[in-house]
Amino acid sequence: MEIEWSEQSRDDLRNILLYVAENFGRRTAEAVLADIRSRANLLKDFPMSGRVFVKDPEQGIIYRSITTKLNKIVYFIDGETIVIVTVWQNRRDIGRLKKQLTQ
């Protein structure tokens, strides 16, 4: 399987890394990036390892999520492609994310 990062997920990741670098330093930001990439790459071999996060019956999409130390990686499977939709900071309102995914 291959992984495709959506534009939104790339923007999310960039914003997370900027925040971490500004507040905790570049090394910490590099560690956060390595953690996110490592967890995402595991999906190539274990795409169903994420728990079902939310179902969108109108679009027929089942969003799954895996959690890193500080973030949630939300994705869905499209044939042989894992589409990473967003990287969501765990401290943010998860209900808002679920609402965004089903609109």
In tens, the pLDDT along 68-81 reads 989 999 999 999 99
Q: Write out the CATH class of domain 2-101.
A: alpha beta
pLDDT band at 6 (very low <50, low <70, confident <90, very high): very high
In tens, the pLDDT along 24-59 reads 999 999 999 999 999 999 999 999 999 999 998 888
Q: Domain map of the chain by residue range?
A: 2-101
The four Cα atoms 57, 62, 68, 70 give a dihedral, to 10 degrees, of: -10
- Residues 4-12, mean pLDDT to the nearest whole number: 97
Helix (H, G, I), strand (E, B) or coil at 89: strand
Q: What is the pTM of this model?
A: 0.91
Q: What is the 3-state secondary structure (H, E, C) of 39-86?
A: HHHHCCCCHHHCEEEEEECCCCEEEEEEECCCEEEEEEEECCEEEEEE
